[in-house]
């Protein structure tokens, strides 16, 4: 196992009726910037319920609304301005990963003198951030308990992940019932996203990391079991709760502690989103089986076969044959059981003009991955996914 530093400072309040814990925000001061998306929290009544707690706690509330899926740097800048003008003490995100990511970079930008985009493309510049709180409404990204934030500038076809320990939320409320209203499309995409985070951590060649691999397999088994239940029965509490906790642990540093490898499917997907503004989890579902087929070799077959046997009920003894069965089973799960789009044309990408540029950027972003990928490899993966 490799050396590692493990730091997960986020306090989690998990379960039903946890909103009262928003009164804990008083620990960080009195002025709160509330960040939220396109209106789902107003339609569900969550906005009113949260406001009631915040007002009763004596907090002064400012708002940055309208965070886009694939959050834009322009929205981050708007939030930063509100923080600086009003001497905001803390940031509260209520929403999915996009809202939380946007809130994180607003919190860091609020205490940074320069342009907030600097913090997206150069993470070491993030030296401090206002305290960040979240109420999660969509199980997918794990942003509620991790250091990452992914921000886009679609005017330049750029989408980059940044990270800092100081952007890990101080407290997050995880109430599975708040995800009952998530659409089938976003439920499926979220399930694919948490599985992809798990795969990115699970596929490594580090000896002596059975605990991490077993934990990853457990998350994958839960996603495969509960994703379809949540699709069929959106108010199934155990399904929503399991997906929520799986999503947090897929990326909070537990699975890759001591066995880290650079991620590679994510850098490829971020290029799809940067150029075509597609839903992150759908892009991952399309790319993941193609990537697995592309990297399948005598060297990688044992781990892919292990995934097949321990997650997808593959019984084949030969590793290469079992790995092929595992990939086929994953395709069936994503594209038939979960109803996810199966190729790039299905998400509206109808030409290949940008593949070369996208592949070069993705290749720069995945140096040190499980199987090294060149620009040419990635162009081929995009072509096969087309």
Applying CB under 5 A, the residues found at the interface with Zn ion are: 193
Indicate whether 283 belongs to the interface with ligand NZQ (CB under 6 A): no
**Terminal-to-terminal C-alpha distance of the chain:** 38
- Phi, psi angle pair for 135, to nearest 5°: -120, 115
Q: Are the C-beta atoms of residues 193 and 187 closer than 8 Å to each other?
A: no
Indicate whether 253 belongs to the interface with ligand NZQ (CB under 6 A): no
Strand blocks (E) in the chain: 11-14, 31-36, 60-64, 90-95, 132-136, 148-153, 158-163, 171-174
In the complex, least distance from residue 88 CB atom to Zn ion, rounded to whole angstroms: 28
CA-to-CA distance for 61 and 71, rounded, in angstroms? 22
> Which of 136, 83, 126 has its CA nearest to residue 106?
83
* Closer residue to ligand NZQ, CB minimum distance, 215 or 322: 215
In the complex, least distance from residue 147 CB atom to ligand NZQ, rounded to whole angstroms: 8
In the complex, least distance from residue 165 CB atom to ligand NZQ, rounded to whole angstroms: 13
Indicate whether 187 belongs to the interface with ligand NZQ (CB under 6 A): no
- Say which residues have a Cβ less than 8 Å from residue 378's Cβ, sequence separation at least 6: 268, 358, 359, 362, 363
Indicate whether 338 belongs to the interface with ligand NZQ (CB under 6 A): no
Indicate whether 134 belongs to the interface with ligand NZQ (CB under 6 A): no
* Closer residue to Zn ion, CB minimum distance, 131 or 281: 281
Contact partner, 186, from Zn ion, ligand NZQ, none, Cβ < 5-8 Å per class: ligand NZQ
CA-to-CA distance for 272 and 143, rounded, in angstroms? 20
Indicate whether 99 belongs to the interface with ligand NZQ (CB under 6 A): yes
In the complex, least distance from residue 41 CB atom to ligand NZQ, rounded to whole angstroms: 6
Q: Are the C-beta atoms of residues 95 and 38 closer than 8 Å to each other?
A: no
In the complex, least distance from residue 32 CB atom to Zn ion, rounded to whole angstroms: 28
Which among 74-82, 96-104, 234-242, 365-373 is the span making contact with ligand NZQ, rule CB under 6 A?
96-104
Indicate whether 250 belongs to the interface with ligand NZQ (CB under 6 A): no
Q: Are the C-beta atoms of residues 335 and 342 closer than 8 Å to each other?
A: yes
DSSP state of 11: E
State the binding string over 145-184 for ligand NZQ (x if CB under 6 A, else -).
-x-xxx---------------------------xx-xx--
In the complex, least distance from residue 320 CB atom to ligand NZQ, rounded to whole angstroms: 30
- Judged by CB under 6 A, the number of residues near ligand NZQ is 34
Q: Is 10 helix (H, G, I), strand (E, B) or coil?
A: coil
CA-to-CA distance for 386 and 287, rounded, in angstroms? 10
CA-to-CA distance for 198 and 195, rounded, in angstroms? 5
- Contact set with ligand NZQ (CB under 6 A): 37-41, 69-70, 95-99, 101, 137-138, 140-143, 146, 148-150, 178-179, 181-182, 186, 190, 193, 251, 266, 280-281
């Amino acid at each position: 196992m490799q050396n590692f530093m493990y730091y997960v400072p986020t306090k989690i309040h998990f379960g039903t009726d946890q909103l009262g814990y928003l009164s804990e925000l008083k620990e960080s001061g009195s002025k709160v910037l509330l960040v939220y998306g396109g209106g789902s929290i107003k339609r569900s009544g969550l906005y009113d319920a949260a406001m009631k707690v915040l007002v009763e706690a004596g907090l002064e509330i400012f708002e940055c609304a309208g965070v886009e899926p694939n959050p834009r740097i322009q929205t981050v800048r708007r939030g930063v301005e509100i923080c600086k003008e009003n001497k905001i003490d803390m940031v509260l995100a209520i929403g999915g990963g996009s809202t939380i990511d946007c809130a994180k970079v607003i919190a860091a930008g609020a205490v940074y003198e320069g342009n907030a985009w600097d913090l997206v493309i150069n993470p070491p510049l993030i030296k401090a951030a206002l305290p960040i709180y979240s109420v999660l409404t969509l199980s997918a990204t794990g942003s509620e308990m991790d250091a990452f934030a992914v921000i886009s500038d679609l005017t330049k076809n750029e989408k980059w992940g940044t990270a800092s320990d100081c952007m890990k939320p101080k407290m997050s409320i995880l109430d599975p019932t708040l995800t009952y209203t998530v659409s089938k499309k976003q439920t499926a995409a979220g399930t694919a996203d948490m599985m992809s985070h798990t795969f990115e951590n699970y596929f490594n060649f580090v000896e002596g990391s059975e605990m991490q691999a077993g934990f990853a397999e457990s998350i994958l088994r839960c996603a495969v079991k509960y994703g379809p239940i949540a699709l069929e029965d959106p108010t199934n509490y155990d399904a929503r709760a399991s997906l929520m906790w799986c999503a947090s642990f897929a990326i909070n540093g537990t699975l890759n502690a001591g066995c880290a490898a650079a991620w590679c499917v994510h850098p490829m997907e971020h290029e799809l989103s940067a150029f075509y503004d597609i839903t992150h989890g759908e892009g991952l579902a399309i790319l993941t089986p193609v990537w697995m087929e592309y990297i399948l070799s005598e060297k990688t077959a044992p781990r892919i076969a292990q995934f097949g046997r321990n997650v997808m009920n593959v019984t084949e003894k030969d590793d290469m044959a079992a790995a092929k069965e595992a990939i086929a089973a994953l395709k069936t799960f994503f594209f038939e059981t979960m109803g996810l789009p199966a190729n790039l044309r299905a998400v509206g990408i109808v030409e290949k003009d940008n593949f070369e540029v996208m592949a070069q950027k993705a290749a720069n972003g995945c140096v040190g991955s499980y199987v090294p990928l060149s620009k040419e490899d990635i162009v081929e993966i995009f072509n096969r996914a087309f």
